[in-house]
Amino acid sequence: MYDVFATDRLIDHWLIEDIGACDLTVQVMIEPDEVGAFYMNAREPMIVAGVEVAARVFQRYDPTLKVKLRVRDGDRVEKGAVLVEVEGAARSVLTAERTALNIAQRLSGIANETARYVAAIEGTKARLIDTRKTTPGLRMMEKHAVSCGGGLNHRLGLDNGVMVKDNHIAVCGSIAAAVARARKKLPVLTKLEIECDNLGQVHQAVAADVDVIMLDNMSIKDMVEAVAIIGGRAKVEASGGIRIDTIRAIAETGVDYISTSKITQAAVAVDIGLDEA
């Protein structure tokens, strides 16, 4: 879920960062009229994400290049699969190569890590969602990668919803006061979520009639009790310290959503290469 116009602005920045004044290597080694055919290939099994953006990198740098997608974002591929074919001016392909590979490797890594977490909670009602803990400038792309891996997107930014956290509550004086303030100016149809650190706050959040209650860093025992207290009167999100080895037990408490930054912050880039055809 990303906008093509905004993506092109990002690609321009990425290319400027990498190229500088010029790609000195191709300028001194490759003749302007030399052409070639190349392919991006998966060097390990993976869920693909960012390959469509990678293809756009080549076309953005040189619109004369012939670029063909062999797979789509969200596809699961095996080692050796051809992802993108690129044909045309060798100078252009080799100059844009690293930027295209970097984005596909990074985003596919996020998709793979997301898929691991999604698989760990399969069969429960819980759904995996991401956070705003993303790389500055890459949030749109990284959240797209999460969706490719089977996860759901939480807020894209601060303007997508109202989340009342501990510091907001501290400034306002109480959960009731914080929610009352928010309700006065809350845009119609906008969700109101409140973060709770303990069961006492859960009772207060239920009384305040919020849309979503986040259980922050609670024990499994307290999560089970919190879900019972809420009794379906609000959606329940578990957050804080979520790991691959703990997420199943959390999902089995009956929460609706589990959010974790691990799928974006701890994802390992996959191995994708560019070779001459």
Active site residues: 98, 133, 165, 195, 216
Length reported for the chain = 277
Beta carbons of 141 and 1 less than 8 angstroms apart: no
9-to-12, 56, 138, 192 alpha-carbon distances in Å: 5, 12, 12, 32
Q: What is the CA radius of gyration of the chain?
A: 23
- Torsion from C-alpha of 53, 54, 60, 62, nearest 10 degrees: -160
CA distance 44 to 66: 25
Instruction: Report which of 226, 194, 189, 220 is spatially closest to residue 208, judged by C-alpha positions.
Output: 194
Nearest to 57 by CA among 105, 21, 25, 120: 105
Structure token digits, residue 139: 């949030």
